Amino acid sequence: MKKILTANYLLSGKGIYLTSEKKWIENLSNAAVFDNQEDADNALTFAETQINKLQSAYLIDVVITPDGRPKPKSNQELIRATGPTNYFHGKQAEKN
């Protein structure tokens, strides 16, 4: 079991991820990876205290790539992490 915690910034709606330092970031590759359900549930409980910053916190399943970074298992979460697929700006532009 490998999971990361995701949510949306309350004001912008952007997807965010929790780090091991309990900070919220937009880059999934630096998210904390939880190897057991207890740690994942504790992170979700922490997110529930952040109602003034975020909304819709939930855990997603990930795999670890050969370079040690988490990658969502589902296509939906992969698209959410990389941005819209119908135009090149935002997250796509940052990769160029």
Which helix or strand (DSSP H or E) is residue 63 part of?
strand 54-64
CB atoms within 10 A of CB 65: 10
What pTM was estimated for this model as a whole?
0.84
Helix, strand, coil abundance in the chain, percent, nearest 5? 30, 30, 45
Which of 8-12, 64-68, 91-95 shows the highest mean pLDDT? 64-68
pLDDT given for residue 56 in this prediction: 95
Tens digits of residue pLDDT in 27-70: 999 999 999 999 999 999 999 999 999 999 999 999 999 999 99
84 pLDDT tier (thresholds 50, 70, 90) = low
Give the model confidence (pLDDT) of 68-80 as tens digits.
Answer: 999 999 988 988 8
